[in-house]
A and B are shown apart, each in its own frame.
Chain A
Amino acid sequence: MLRTTLRSLWQHKRRLISTTVAVLLGVAFMAGTFVLGDTLDNSIDELVGEVTVGIDAEVRGPELFDSGFGALRAPVDASLVDTVAGVDGVEDAAGYVQSMSGRILDSEGEALGQTNGAPTIFEAFIPNGDLSGYEIVDGRGVEADDEMVLNRGATDDADLAVGDQVEITSALGRDSFTLVGIYTIKGRDSIAGAVTASFTPTVAQELAGLPGQFQLIYATAADGVEQPELADAINSVLPEDSGGEAITGEQSSEELSDSFSEGLAFFSTFLLIFALIALVVGSFIIFNTFSILVAQRGKELALLRAIGATRRQVLVSVLVEAILVGLIAAFVGIAAGIGLAIGLVALLDSIGLELPSSGVVIAPATVVWALIAGVGVTLFSAMIPAWRATRVPPIAALRDVATDASGTSKVRAVIGIILFALGLFMLTPAFGEAPDSAALPSVGLGAVLLLVALVVLGPVIARPAAKLFGAPLSALRGTPGHLARENAARSPKRTASTAAALMIGVALVGFITIFAESARASIDDQITRGLKADLILQSESFDVGIPLEVSTMIAERDDVAGVASVRQGLVQLTMPDGSNSTTFMGAVDPEVYPEAVEVQMAEGSLSDLRPGGIVVDARQADERDIAIGDTITLTFPTGSTAEVEVVALSEDPQLLGLYTISHEDWSTNVPNQTDGIVFVSAADGVDVEELQASIEEAIEPYVTVIVQDRDEFLGSIAAQLNTALNVIYGLLALSLIIALIGIANTLSLSIYERTRELGLLRAVGMTRAQLRSSVRWEAAIIALLGTVLGVLLALALSYTLVQALGPQGFSTYDIPVTSLVVIVAVFAILGVLASVLPARRAAKLNVLEAIATE
């Protein structure tokens, strides 16, 4: 029996290639994600290990709150460095402080480094190379406050040399330093591409807004002192009130790489979602292939049964075939995934994220998961076809095996409709009076149910739908068109599962397209409604703010009527009920803000905001049970805390953040504050375009600040959304490619099955061109079916989600008609392209052999 299986596999090898590819791609994506994640993880471990190798102990302040990217800790007093240095067993100690709030200018006066690329870090210079891991390769270390040293990668990129005056922009504005030295880090030019600029501790503290304080103190041990001993010794002398603690260098380095790994894990999970989608789409193709193969082998299987093969043997023979396909797919997929990961690492390298390349890491878990996915998906998808194979009665050996034309079974229709209704029902919470976030899980489940319902109903609707879409073909394309339509409607199950694979991909693409468009339109709407200012200043890098002197300078201009700004940063809020929430919070000046932005309020007024007060978004207030008069405790990254009273509730999340305090409170608690966004209103009679040009010139020294008028501002928001959209399109592309392979696959199998019929058509005078066109149109109908169903699903689900998110600022449901038309057209065309090879094969059929085929 095994021999028969292997032989059949061998005979169908051509037909199984595209099936294998369909699984393989998903497995490759998954394996690639794992390999990339492990490799990056390993590189980071290695890098962190190397750089921190000289540190035997680290002293740090108490944890303030979890920022979401690791714990945020309070700084420690600078005087603690001497205390630590005096501890028995400590050889040397140095304070360290860093900030990422500025940029270095290169010799041309341009900001160094890519926007949102590797960061620029301002830090305290540590003369002891054992502690810093730095080695001065040119010049000397920093000795005076007007001096700096830079990593060699940065000086190479910026074309700077020892002795040059280097300009920087920071929260404090523009400044200039003499470059006195260039260093490498353990022989590397940079740490993963970052620009690291070191200053005297005093300057670094100022830049970080932590005068007289350090974030960390590093210590080396004297000869013969072990790390734990050292940490214990330091801990015993740390003053109680400092709240600080000493840990070993080993632990510090572990925690550091762990915090990076966490970020990576998030990224990997994001990619894995798309790998899973690809696998699900692939499973439809496998299901289809095995169904068709079993149907085509019906006679052979019946013969086997007739001569005494048991049902189990038949089942096993089909499943073994599936396992072999899955194994091949898994192994080739792993290889392809490794290739993919190598390519991505090279890509990261080329965009400046240089990592130590100790080779790709292929963890056993990667191989295991890839095997589970490859074999699992294939086996699972082949289950039903295999079971069906066992139902072939021996008597079928004597009959003509017809293609499975069934589809509209009553049971299927009933189950499908029940699932569909259930799915719709789950969506209803989105349409309530004021849907809250509790509606989302239900909506999500509803979406999945609708998808499943459509898959179940597919065979029921495939025939009428194919006839409908094909109707114009019959009229316009003559016999080839007519045959295409009939063939697409011929075996509804086959058409349906081929279309379903495409439907899933298109539904996702359509969904995010509509959703993003609605988000854009909603933001657009609200901003257009509330934004009164003429010009908007922003920093092009998220981490670098706008120095306060910029808004002061602009406010002084005669051609400016008013300036309002929002300062923002990470803050932990302790709610009245004791729960904590870490969020980006804003601060405005209630006197001038309404002149620039008209904020809709639910309760109270923005002018109620005074020092000691806070304005809370009404929806947040509702969910967290916050009322006017309640007290919220704020914890700032510097460690300072403030109690504020809720004075008003806003309902305009796009124009005012979820939580907003006054500039005064912000200044008290956040040193080195910067503006996140500055609104400028032109004075009466001033031409906005001229004002923009003039301000652009004035802010030239602040290289990261950009000025936009209202249209540009809205445009940049749309551009950001588009970037996100393009990333997701890119990740979904694989699933869509798999779906298209599915179309090609189904057509090839169908054509094989119709050999005789095609031979007859050719005999009675169908030309090759007509035959090709017929196959192409059949593909177009299947593609159109999948695409149209996908778009319908996308419309329904995006509409529901926008309704559910209405209170969170989704005011507009906007259907990007052009985009949707493009999607439908593109996939219909791609479907046709997918049919090129099968169509060619069909046209090349030898007429005589085809007629003679049994």
Chain B
Amino acid sequence: MTTTEPNTDAPMPAPVGIAARAVRATKSYGSGDTRVVALDEIDAEFEQGRFTAIMGPSGSGKSTLMHCLAGLDTLTSGQVFIGDIDLSSLSEKKLTTLRRDKVGFVFQAFNLIPTLTAIENITLPMSLAGRKPDDSWVDRVITTVGLGDRLTHRPSELSGGQQQRVAVSRALASRPEIIFADEPTGNLDTNSGSEILNFMRQAVDEFAQTIVMVTHDPVAASYADRVVFLVDGRIVHDLASPDRDAIIDQMKHLEVGR
């Protein structure tokens, strides 16, 4: 994969390896007549330190792919790797600790534990691991995301945008190998949404964080280094350094193709 047109001024860290990989990944539900193939022998690689967006029509398998990559769901056949680790070989307990230590999550909604304060939510994976969070790093994340004065608030006392910022901070705070975000801005207004996207972009550029984001929004996808298009459980297009218009073009193309 080559980048012809870097869309930020920040120096691009050289790709040193693959953060996550799917090999002939297949996921199907049911059997016989009612069989639904959500992922159809997908091969994909997600490089370290890059921001990838996954797009596609509803029901095309975006969430399923993400869940399988993240160890939340298991494949029907094929393999997925986080780093060098083959997830299909892991026990449920190992998968859990892998999610805790190597993966970060941002969901569309309901990202936070209502009984915990913002800061407790941010450091949750680390305290679950019984690890002391790296304070200077957490501080840096919080400052970057701009949550300074809201840290001791509970989720119910935060706006939707603030809640998503906490969720992004949580994903970043434990320095996972990869962050998966499923429509993280889907519930937000344009302003809050672009703030979140900026943070993610910043995390990739400044901290060399790897992020995979599912989205329906071409503007959101344009923040990414690369957009993968999914239709009916298959990757149909792979767009590098996308801008909004190119994405919209591609989407129209897909609509017509269907």
Binding site for B on A (CB under 8 A): 402, 478-479, 482-483, 486-487, 490, 756-757, 760-768, 770, 847-848, 851
Contact = CB atoms under 8 A, between A and B. Distances in A.
B201 interface: no
Contact of A764 (B100, B130, B156): B100
B35 interface: no
Nearest to A479: B127
Interface string B117-129: 0001000110111
A141 to B, nearest CB: 83
Contacts of B125: 764-765
A571 B109 CA distance: 82
Given A768-B93, A770-B128, A763 B113 contact: no
B110 A483 contact: no
Contact of A848 (B73, B116, B130): B73
8 contacts: A478-B128, A479-B128, A760-B107, A760-B113, A764-B128, A764-B170, A768-B96, A770-B128
A487 to B, nearest CB: 6
B124 A764 contact: yes
A317 B32 CA distance: 42
Nearest to A852: B63
Candidate in B97, B105, B114 with the most chain A CB atoms within 10 angstroms = B114
A764 B115 contact: no
A763 B92 contact: no
Given A766-B128, A767-B93, 6 more contacts: A479-B128, A760-B113, A763-B72, A766-B96, A767-B128, A768-B93
B73 A765 contact: no
A765 B110 contact: no
A761 B127 contact: no
Contacts of A402: 156
Q: Give the top 7 A-B pairs by smallest Cβ distance, nearest first.
A: A765-B100, A486-B115, A479-B127, A765-B99, A767-B96, A765-B125, A479-B128
B73 to A, nearest CB: 5
Contacts of B127: 478-479, 482
B40 interface: no
Contact of B72 (A490, A768, A848): A848
B194 interface: no
A765 B120 CA distance: 14
Interface residues of B, number: 28
Interface of B: 67, 72-73, 92-93, 96-97, 99-101, 105, 107, 110-116, 120, 124-125, 127-130, 156, 170
B113 A757 contact: yes
B110 A760 contact: yes
Contact of B128 (A487, A765, A847): A765
B128 A768 contact: no
Candidate in A402, A482, A765, A770 with the most chain B CB atoms within 10 angstroms = A765
Nearest to A761: B113
B104 to A, nearest CB: 8
Nearest to A489: B115
B72 A847 contact: yes
Contact of A756 (B72, B100, B110, B115): B110
B92 A848 contact: no
A760 B115 contact: no
Contacts of B100: 764-767
A475 B13 CA distance: 41
**Interface SS of A by simple majority:** helix
A767 B97 contact: yes
Given A765-B96, A765-B129, A760 B111 contact: yes
Nearest to B120: A482
A560 B199 CA distance: 100
A678 to B, nearest CB: 69
A769 to B, nearest CB: 8
Contacts of B116: 482-483, 486
A848 B129 CA distance: 21
Candidate in B67, B111, B115 with the most chain A CB atoms within 10 angstroms = B115
Contacts of B101: 765
B113 A483 contact: yes
Contacts of B113: 483, 757, 760-761
Contacts of A757: 110, 113-114
Contacts of B107: 760, 851
A763 B120 CA distance: 16
B111 to A, nearest CB: 7
Contacts of B115: 483, 486-487, 490
Contacts of A483: 113, 115-116
B208 to A, nearest CB: 22
A757 B112 CA distance: 8
Contacts of A767: 93, 96-97, 100, 128
Nearest to B92: A768
B72 A765 contact: no
Nearest to B93: A767
Contacts of A770: 128
Contact of A479 (B67, B105, B110, B124): B124
A462 B234 CA distance: 54
Contacts of A847: 72
B97 A765 contact: yes
A402 B115 CA distance: 13
B171 to A, nearest CB: 9
A487 B170 CA distance: 21
A770 B120 CA distance: 17
A73 B110 CA distance: 82
A402 B128 CA distance: 26
B105 A764 contact: yes
A402 to B, nearest CB: 8
A296 to B, nearest CB: 16
A764 B120 CA distance: 13
Candidate in A482, A490, A757, A766 with the most chain B CB atoms within 10 angstroms = A766
Nearest to B170: A764
Contacts of B105: 763-764
A845 to B, nearest CB: 12
A763 B128 CA distance: 12
B130 A478 contact: yes
Nearest to B121: A764
Nearest to A754: B114
Contacts of B99: 763-765
B72 to A, nearest CB: 6
Contacts of A763: 72, 99, 105
Nearest to B117: A486
A722 to B, nearest CB: 45
Contacts of B114: 757
A643 to B, nearest CB: 79
Nearest to B96: A767
A848 B72 CA distance: 7
Nearest to A765: B100
A393 B125 CA distance: 39
Contacts of B130: 478
Contacts of A761: 113, 124
Nearest to B98: A765
B183 to A, nearest CB: 13
Contacts of B128: 478-479, 764-767, 770
A770 B129 CA distance: 10
Contacts of B93: 767-768
A766 B105 CA distance: 13
A767 B116 CA distance: 18
A115 B174 CA distance: 73
A364 to B, nearest CB: 52
Contacts of A851: 72, 107, 110
Contacts of A768: 92-93, 96
B110 A762 contact: no
Contacts of B111: 760
Nearest to B100: A765
A766 B95 CA distance: 10
A320 to B, nearest CB: 33
A853 to B, nearest CB: 9
Contacts of A762: 96
B74 to A, nearest CB: 10
A798 to B, nearest CB: 38
